[in-house]
Amino acid sequence: MSTPKLFIPGPIDVSQATYAAMSRPMIGHRGSEFEALYASTQPVLQQLAGTSRPVFLSTSSAWGVMEAALRNLTQKKVLTLCNGAFSDKWLDVAKKCGKEAEKIQMEWGQAIDPEQVRAKLAEGGFDTVTFIHNETSTGVMSDVSAIAKVVKSFPDVLLIVDCVSSFSAVPLAMDELGIDVLLAGVQKAMALPPGLTIFAISPAALERAKASKDRGYYFDFLEFEKNAASNNTPSTPAISLIFGLQDMLQTIAAEGLENRFARHRSNNKMIHDWAARHNFQHFAPEGFRSVSLSCFHTPTDFDQSAFIKTLKTKHNFLINGGYGKIKGITFRISNMGNETTSTMQELIDAMDDVLG
Amino acid sequence: MSTPKLFIPGPIDVSQATYAAMSRPMIGHRGSEFEALYASTQPVLQQLAGTSRPVFLSTSSAWGVMEAALRNLTQKKVLTLCNGAFSDKWLDVAKKCGKEAEKIQMEWGQAIDPEQVRAKLAEGGFDTVTFIHNETSTGVMSDVSAIAKVVKSFPDVLLIVDCVSSFSAVPLAMDELGIDVLLAGVQKAMALPPGLTIFAISPAALERAKASKDRGYYFDFLEFEKNAASNNTPSTPAISLIFGLQDMLQTIAAEGLENRFARHRSNNKMIHDWAARHNFQHFAPEGFRSVSLSCFHTPTDFDQSAFIKTLKTKHNFLINGGYGKIKGITFRISNMGNETTSTMQELIDAMDDVLG
């Protein structure tokens, strides 16, 4: 049996077109050819992020930039908004960076409550908030507008938003919402292999970073800003992945952003409809369900492990059996990236076949 | 004109076999397939590094791990051994991480003098030394055995060795020499696209890291150690690059390590012989010349810029016109990676043609 096609929530299936782009002959990164490559990525990345600021390319996975955001911005105390495996982890990461940190802990499966954020920030002492837009572990998409509005009502508090699994699946409005750091991996809805993280920072974030004493070099926001001015990166970049990114951004522009967002919504609805037919219950409440992946409760009388295994061995499709403390009691299906009505239908037909 | 073939000192020409391996269908990184991939890289990486310790895979370029080494190890003061653009920069990076740092500054083009290291360490107060084995900016390969011997005579001082442009081009003996951190990028002699750094740490480095309060998460040595035990990485890895790495390590094993080292020596000698014929003078002194790249003084009556440009436009080969403060007054030619007698001869014939 060949490698199964991935419908897990990242990394996901990568197209032959992307691999072909990634196989372009290697170039040096300190010349005009690389600068042109870098520059070519900016317009669509900016549109996707909703910013007029440069979008930086970090040779790392997303946790590198998540940690970087704390090292560059947190001088007093960070409030981590926690409602799943990845958002929860941000508290530990903050402490490992030697930062003072407190959290708001929602139950897994719930969205972040803006009013709790307001109450906590009103206690004072915070200068940074971390927020995950789309909790990949639970399939919950919190309301980024509402959270941003609350955080922005505290003028000295900067907002870090992880859009790892929402970027390019839904519209984002960094500048309009006043987000200070927006970051995303490329192995989710962007459908590239992992190894590259894109991020943008506000002028306020840049100012704050200037006063940070231990922000280091590799993830130094000032170094990214300085190098971006000449369409380059502080350290040797993942050139092949950037070739792939360039190609994907051309594909996204050709499809049209609104069409892309609509495609993610309709592919997502196909999974919702499939789940309704089989009476699978969403882990996320109505109104806060991710459009890039779906997370369902495992029914008590359902042999989830056998379902996933048979789907893989018989049909060569891989879905995910839950993450962290909800492993086994939930399962997740991705509809991110290049999927179409037709490829989603193939998955659905296969799942129906296994369910019998 | 197509993209020129790279004879710059990294990134270098990547083979079609590597790109084919990198284009294997994407897999998840939290399953047995990735664990098998990870495990498959270990034996040859350990041979190349000369260690029985696990060799970690960091999704970053080398500066990420260079900085990580300081964050994990330096609690008192670091001594940076400086003799070129990259080794010099390490002092600034240390300061940007909030570390106390002093340097030994050799003239660019000179090797690090072990006796100066001994004298400086004897002043006391240091707990870490940074050393670049092969200074890519100057083509100088310092004597890692001599440096390690000196540093190891100070029991509380840990030695960090950057083998970015020597790894897999020359034998390395991490365990035998008592190196505490050995790191290398993969876009140099390993001939992969950039985006992955391999490194190994000694038991003493692991112990030291445990007491570091701000080592963070993304580059936390303890996280790498813990995940390596189950053949995995702390954060989402650059899976496609690891497919490429696996393929390259198979190629290296098939060639045989000694044959590989001999091939680098003989390819390097071809460039030395070419330079002697044209009376180009080495920037590095005899006995300290890199075997993976060569750096030459630009003769005063020589239009280096025209030479490099014509070599590119007429023959589609790219060499490098010097780096940092010796840009223009030196030029560099790489012989790293997959090059053979025949491909080196093509370059030499082309250079001879341009020289007329």
Question: Would you call B339 an interface residue with chain A, using a CB distance cutoff of 8 Å?
Answer: no
Give the integer Cα–Cα distance in Å for A260 and A58: 24
Question: Would you call B324 an interface residue with chain A, using a CB distance cutoff of 8 Å?
Answer: no
What does the DSSP 8-state code read for residue B60? S
In angstroms, the separation between the Cα of residue A30 and the nearest Cα of chain B is 10
> Which contacts (CB < 8 Å, 24+ apart) does range A34-37 have?
A34/A231, A34/A232, A34/A237, A34/A239, A35/A230, A35/A231, A35/A232, A36/A231, A37/A239, A37/A242, A37/A243, A37/A246
Identify the pLDDT of residue B2: 85
- What average pLDDT does this structure show over B230-254? 98
Nearest CB among B33, B96, B237 relative to A216 is that of B96
| Residue B172 predicted with pLDDT over 90 | yes
Give the pTM.
0.98
Q: How confident is the model at residue B1 (pLDDT cuts 50, 70, 90)?
A: low
- pLDDT tens for B41-86 read 999 999 999 999 999 999 999 999 999 999 999 999 999 999 999 9
Best residue in A26, A30, A210, A320 for a mutation probing chain B (most B CBs within 10 Å): A26
Q: Is the peptide bond before A155 cis (omega within 30 degrees of 0)?
A: no
Kindly list the distances between the CA atom of residue A232 and the CA atoms of A42, A195, A225, B249, B285, in Å, as whole numbers in the listed order: 12, 17, 9, 30, 33
Identify the pLDDT of residue A214: 87
Q: How far is CA B78 from the centre of its chain?
A: 20
* Cβ separation B26–A6 shorter than 8 A: yes
Phi/psi of residue B158, nearest 5 degrees: -100, 145
Q: How confident is the model at residue B280 (pLDDT cuts 50, 70, 90)?
A: very high
Identify the pLDDT of residue A2: 85
**Domains of chain A with bracketed CATH:** 5-12+256-355 (3.90.1150.10), 16-253 (3.40.640.10)
Nearest CB among B6, B96, B215 relative to A28 is that of B6
Greatest pairwise CA separation for chain A in angstroms? 61
pLDDT < 50 stretches in chain A? none
B-facing residues of A in 87-126 (CB < 8 A) are: 92-93, 96-98
The complex scores an ipTM of 0.97
In angstroms, the separation between the Cα of residue A176 and the nearest Cα of chain B is 30
Phi/psi of residue B133, nearest 5 degrees: -60, -50
Identify the pLDDT of residue B214: 87
Question: Would you call B235 an interface residue with chain A, using a CB distance cutoff of 8 Å?
Answer: yes
- 3-state per-residue secondary structure call for A103-168: EEECCCCCCCCHHHHHHHHHCCCCCEEEEECEECCCCEECCHHHHHHHHHCCCCCEEEEECCCCEC
* Tokens of residue A196, six digits: 């590259």
Q: How confident is the model at residue B232 (pLDDT cuts 50, 70, 90)?
A: very high
Question: Would you call B197 an interface residue with chain A, using a CB distance cutoff of 8 Å?
Answer: no
Give the integer Cα–Cα distance in Å for B45 and B200: 10
* Cβ separation B26–A60 shorter than 8 A: no
- pLDDT tens for B190-212 read 999 999 999 999 999 999 999 99
Residue A75's nearest CA partner among A229, A207, A201, A164 is: A207
CB A227 within 8 A of CB A234: yes
